[in-house]
């Protein structure tokens, strides 16, 4: 297995002098293809900051972030935008769906940006709708879907363009326990079927139960890295 993610002495600092905060402090982390990994830690430990740097949404103060064999730390903003579009799927706590678009249109959107043909877009969306259990609801807008259904649309949108990496920041935070477990069942099944790499930033014990690897941060440093 090759590394999908590799951070090399990555740090992210905010402020300076007396107000300096080391949100991430000299972190070395390697994640291989197909992992289902949870980054955990108390509030302020740096887990969301680390996830943002892994996703090329934030730039390290020092160190390097390599994704799919490429140094994203050295990319220009336009290169980063294209790289994220083609290689990373994001799932956020707040779903981040476009309210005026249907479930199908939300899922299809990234593929439109990628210039994928209409025939292929239709095929992929039909396939992923079935996998995430949303057949018959593809024409509904987000306001017409439950929270769990909206998060399923978000997961489908993240996966449909076949990225090498899915990053999920507290994806179950707004869901009740039953819906959260159902979503995790679905995500782990998709991980096993498609060998996509999933990395979560979370406080949720349900995600920790499902994860095969737990990386614990405290004060911006990895203090525990456990395979289950």
Please state whether beta strands 36-40 and 21-32 pair in parallel, antiparallel, or not at all (unpaired).
unpaired
Around Cβ 53, how many Cβ atoms within 10 Å?
Answer: 25
User: Total structural domains in the chain?
Assistant: 1
Distances, alpha carbon 209 to alpha carbons 46, 100, 168, 184, in Å: 21, 36, 16, 10
What radius of gyration, in Å, describes the C-alpha atoms of the chain?
17
Q: Which DSSP state fits 198?
A: E
* Cα(75)–Cα(42) distance, integer angstroms: 31
Q: Which domain holds residue 159?
A: 3-227
Q: From first to last of its 228 residues, what are the pLDDT tens digits of the chain?
A: 688 999 999 999 999 888 899 999 999 999 999 999 999 999 889 999 999 999 999 989 999 999 988 999 888 889 998 899 888 999 888 888 999 999 999 999 989 988 999 999 999 999 888 888 888 999 999 999 998 899 889 988 988 888 889 999 988 888 888 888 888 988 898 888 888 899 999 999 999 999 999 999 999 999 999 998
Measured between alpha carbons, how far is 178 from 154 in angstroms, rounded to an integer?
18
CATH code of the domain in which 158 resides? 3.40.50.300
């Amino acid at each position: 297995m090759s590394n999908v993610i590799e951070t090399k002495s990555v740090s992210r600092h905010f402020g300076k002098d007396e107000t300096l905060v080391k949100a991430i402090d000299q972190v070395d982390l390697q994640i291989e293809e197909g992992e289902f990994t949870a980054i955990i830690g108390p509030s302020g430990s740096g887990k969301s900051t680390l996830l943002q740097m892994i996703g090329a949404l934030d730039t390290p103060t020092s160190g390097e972030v390599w994704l799919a064999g490429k140094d994203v730390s050295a990319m220009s903003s336009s290169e980063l935008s294209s790289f994220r579009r083609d290689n990373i799927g994001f799932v956020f706590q707040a779903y981040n769906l476009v309210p005026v678009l249907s479930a199908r249109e939300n899922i299809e959107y990234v593929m439109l940006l990628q210039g994928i043909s209409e025939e292929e877009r239709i095929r992929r969306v039909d396939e992923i709708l079935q996998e995430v259990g949303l057949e018959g609801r593809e024409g509904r807008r987000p306001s017409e879907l439950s929270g769990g259904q909206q998060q399923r649309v978000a997961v489908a949108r993240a996966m449909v363009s076949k990225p090498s990496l899915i990053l999920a920041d507290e994806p179950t935070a707004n869901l009740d326990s039953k819906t959260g477990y159902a979503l995790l069942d679905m995500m782990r099944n998709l991980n096993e079927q498609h060998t996509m790499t999933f990395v979560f930033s979370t406080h949720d014990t349900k995600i920790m139960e499902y994860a095969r690897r737990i990386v614990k941060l405290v004060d911006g440093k990895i203090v525990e890295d456990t395979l289950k």
